Structure 1
């Protein structure tokens, strides 16, 4: 075992259950269940992380009542027929030496699903509308509250019979248990409302209902936000006071931050890269000192050295490293072996993990598209015949294709025209609060090197060079090039591309950004220029800046632009420019909008494929991937790299 992580890899025990280390996967949505039950894909997903060395896996939320169906993705535990499918999954995880908890869940008013094609009625302790999902909940009757509490007990029993080591009542992020705790949401006048002793009663009785149905050594815990980080959410002192009164009802407390109820609070459900690493640890420390019970913590703990510090300093007993293991299922094993340079570090982009869930897609990772696709790509078979493979382009697509092809036994040479690898990711990391995005270059380069790829930098590949090398297969990953939109732009207009700004080209003091992409580029360039004192107007060809990216990432950046005074103008299409004026069309009203006193227009517009070698490649087995095929994002580039590497 590595001497770097002596605390992280010390076993830990709750009741009679011992975890082999302090690393756990928090409960998180995956869109891998089928018919509200565990599937082969969900089992394979969790088994991959168990094989990777996780000490504990907490399986995603399981509904305790019919009114808990907040999406079509969650698991349901309301019928005894669920026991066998859960048992099959839990047994598979246990075989790898990992313990298993299951989350017990009711969202209350935080409801967004349409299981019958229409908005379902939401229920909450009181009539307290939720602004994020626009729900106006019906107050729960006393009989319904008691029925849901009974549901916690019955689902806890089923999970125990399925072989789980424990269950976790989900009160984090403003879900139903937290709604009972919050005096600004819970205005009941019965035994579940009023003073704190009454407001904690729902959680206490839910825990007791479970205890009555499970063996004595079965673990019952609670996940709660230490601070919901919203003006109307639970505050830190309220959470601490509640946990002090609840400590004898529960075996451990799992602390996180934020709430689903507001845009600002929701970013902490899966915090983006601009949030500090391990930022919830101070809450965990205060809670541990207050209750003297086992405390788990999560929240941007991406690297083993961060988790080691949390455990060594006594802030918590277990560290949730969920996205770290989404990105690298073998993270724990690599850390234990001291192979830290081989860990594929999460960059907190949120694009294919929570981003996929919010699109109704199964979980994955832009750096490791094998995640969520374990049944298809969990094993990479050796090639029947080793081929000489030429990869043109050292961006994310080319690096992934080269790594996978070499891992399968091919002789792979990657050519990059620049002296550095990374393609457009090298520029993306220069934007404010996006430095971690550069990790995709480090991680994919390391994959390629470990697989034995020969990397040649500073080499422009020409048709003659391809012919002289005569490879068995060619993978074109040559990227894309900036293009101007079809607008009437005068010679006296100062118009540049977003990439020019990142390369250091100066703008005037009054800038309009034409943000056709509505992604992180327009947001980032706006923040960069505004923070340098430039007057910035962000003209977006869409309903909102950042509408094309995951909403927690978008909303965090929108907050920063608001503080900087950036004016955002939606529904704009550029159709002309001169020395001091930009001319737009409002795409909904189909009416002109004129922006005056403009020194520079910055374009964040679609690129065109750089596919000049296509005809040459057609003489060989060939593949076009990433932006060379069609300009999109790093996710598509890496996934297509995986597929090309598997196909060659």
Structure 2
């Protein structure tokens, strides 16, 4: 029977084939790529929370877990406010404990060595304004300030710092290092003709621009030995006018291949808002959008190539390796959404893999909270306090959950797994709640995948599901639960706009699920996330959209990382009227009033209301009054996004 545990090994033989890199052997071809430099002390040291976060990835079955953006030269290269500093006094203990913990959990320990270059002092995505001189490949003026050309003596000092850092990491137990030469950081700046205008041996020709990176690699090999593996993360394309092209990246790979063991091909610039969405592919890009860059470089080198960028389907992983496009798959946000992805693939439990919905909640939390979170995995960032090996309840209870959206399904799953007798009731003919409408747009299919995963988990358990059932106080009293979960979602706001009951008016949810109800000209009332994403989707389907928003800007409630990719697409999809409110809806359009008091009539075949949502507190209170033990979860607790729904459900179910 034991061999059946690993039947995914036969289904994905290339993914689960070992790989030798120097003196280490990878048990499979999945590496957890660097994520989140947060959860670090102000002295630049590891915290128990960060170690636990990394270990959780290791227990999921990845061959290697990589910690990201460790700074090798703090006085010039610290690109984030909170960041691991490998030249900080007292750094060794936390590093050693982390390496040991990763080994104990079954993974090899990798660490990314980085320097921010011009962003080491100037404002970056991950850091506020800092003092001191900024140093890069050449003198350059940026919106954040001026950066100076790095002198040769500083280059030599930094090369030595890379060697010091790599040697330290080896000594405390790390199995390999990754040299970060991508995403617009220092070594990427030297490689790029956009940044590098030097006339000495570190500028000009491609060979000269690669010299800094090569000398770093040789220094690490000299200090750590030829069999200590070095991974290099480099861009396959800068996607920047005047930057490194794929053709030049191929030549860089050929220049460095004898001095490293694995090349990780990424792209773009972390600090360019328009490029961030490609470096970390948003939902507007297909999964694996950057694989072709790795595939092309692989044709020209003799060492293994890794690819990265929104790859989360084991079938796709297998095809990439089997077709010779790459040798290794690196997963980043996917390892937060479901750290167990490798093990679930190995055991052929692919239907149970929680998908990353590419909402950038993880990135947003690094700035807002100085930690990490995940919209679809409540315990990410909380591993020190909570773990998915759920404690059985001391007393088995009869649990009723009203509402089959993401919150209701998650609560049902966790309550069942803790030993309770669970009944899940929903008024609709299928489970899913707002995930159905959230995933209706062409670029949000990941939400439908999440819906299917949660439904699969419910259906594979002994959870009693009742559909097409409206619940009221009498139903709850007759059912007589020991514990009640209220997960009834939210209701749409109905402001007193004359004509809101006009036949041409369609709610946003109805329009998302049934776009065929919309006419050619669509006016959308409300420029929040729902209205903004709707405009993009309906424009894609051929509608002419106008977006009406009372606030000065649209989509203000979403995090800056997602918004950076959203705004350009909204602007292409719709005529945007901010500081504007609808005053009346007629049979053929909408009267609006602008901030200056002027009025305008906008023709419309359909008017979509995306005016926000609120909890039906009266119904929530009435339901709660029927029982002694109750839990309010999801939108009916506080209108929010998937993160709030999944998180309130998970942690509430732990308390029953």
Per the normalisation by structure 2, the TM-score is: 0.92
Preserved contact between residue 295 and residue 325 of structure 2 (Cα < 8 Å): yes
- Is the counterpart of residue 439 in structure 1 residue 446 in structure 2? no
Q: Pick from 226, 239, 245: which aligns with 1:235?
A: 245
- Any gaps of 5 or more consecutive residues in structure 1? none
- CA 1:318 to 1:462, structure 2 compared with 1: closer, same or farther past 3 Å? same
**Secondary structure of 2:412's match?**
helix
Map Cα deviations across residues 594-636 of structure 1 (whole Å, 9 max, x no partner). Answer: 3533444322121121341422322320111111112211110
- Is the counterpart of residue 73 in structure 1 residue 79 in structure 2? no
Preserved contact between residue 225 and residue 258 of structure 1 (Cα < 8 Å): yes
Between stretches 6-15 and 617-626, larger displacement belongs to 617-626
Preserved contact between residue 436 and residue 513 of structure 2 (Cα < 8 Å): no
- CA 1:116 to 1:204, structure 2 compared with 1: closer, same or farther past 3 Å? closer
**Secondary structure of 1:471's match?**
coil
Between stretches 507-516 and 451-460, larger displacement belongs to 507-516
Q: Pick from 382, 385, 395: which aligns with 1:373?
A: 382
**Secondary structure of 2:25's match?**
strand
Preserved contact between residue 432 and residue 524 of structure 1 (Cα < 8 Å): no
- CA 1:531 to 1:217, structure 2 compared with 1: closer, same or farther past 3 Å? closer
Q: Pick from 14, 25, 34: which aligns with 1:18?
A: 25
- Any gaps of 5 or more consecutive residues in structure 2? 1-5
Between stretches 113-122 and 547-556, larger displacement belongs to 113-122
Q: Pick from 467, 482, 488: which aligns with 1:478?
A: 488
Alignment partners' CA distance in 2, 1:317 and 1:390:
48
Q: Pick from 536, 549, 562: which aligns with 1:527?
A: 536
Preserved contact between residue 399 and residue 481 of structure 2 (Cα < 8 Å): yes
Shift of 1:561: 4.2
- CA 1:494 to 1:252, structure 2 compared with 1: closer, same or farther past 3 Å? same
Partner of 2:646: 638
Alignment partners' CA distance in 1, 2:495 and 2:225:
67
- CA 1:300 to 1:607, structure 2 compared with 1: closer, same or farther past 3 Å? same
Shift of 1:403: 1.1
What RMSD, in angstroms, separates the aligned Cα atoms of the two structures? 2.4
Shift of 1:538: 1.9
Give the alignment of 1:247-396 within 5 angstroms: 247-350=257-360, 352-378=361-387, 379-396=389-406
**Secondary structure of 1:279's match?**
coil
Partner of 2:469: 459
- CA 1:558 to 1:639, structure 2 compared with 1: closer, same or farther past 3 Å? same
Q: Pick from 162, 175, 196: which aligns with 1:186?
A: 196
- CA 1:166 to 1:541, structure 2 compared with 1: closer, same or farther past 3 Å? farther
Shift of 1:573: 4.1
Q: Pick from 5, 14, 17: which aligns with 1:7?
A: 14
Partner of 1:124: 136
Shift of 1:526: 1.0
**Secondary structure of 2:31's match?**
strand
Per the normalisation by structure 1, the TM-score is: 0.93
Partner of 2:525: 514
**Secondary structure of 1:34's match?**
coil
**Secondary structure of 2:545's match?**
strand
- Is the counterpart of residue 623 in structure 1 residue 623 in structure 2? no
Q: Pick from 28, 32, 51: which aligns with 2:39?
A: 32
Preserved contact between residue 163 and residue 223 of structure 2 (Cα < 8 Å): yes
Between stretches 540-549 and 608-617, larger displacement belongs to 540-549
**Secondary structure of 1:100's match?**
strand
Q: Pick from 40, 48, 54: which aligns with 2:56?
A: 48
Give the alignment of 1:132-281 within 5 angstroms: 134-281=144-291
Q: Pick from 536, 553, 575: which aligns with 1:567?
A: 575
Alignment partners' CA distance in 2, 1:593 and 1:209:
69
Q: Pick from 105, 127, 131: which aligns with 2:114?
A: 105
**Secondary structure of 1:374's match?**
coil
Preserved contact between residue 395 and residue 421 of structure 1 (Cα < 8 Å): yes
Partner of 1:602: 608
Preserved contact between residue 510 and residue 600 of structure 1 (Cα < 8 Å): yes
Preserved contact between residue 81 and residue 128 of structure 2 (Cα < 8 Å): no
Alignment partners' CA distance in 1, 2:149 and 2:556:
33
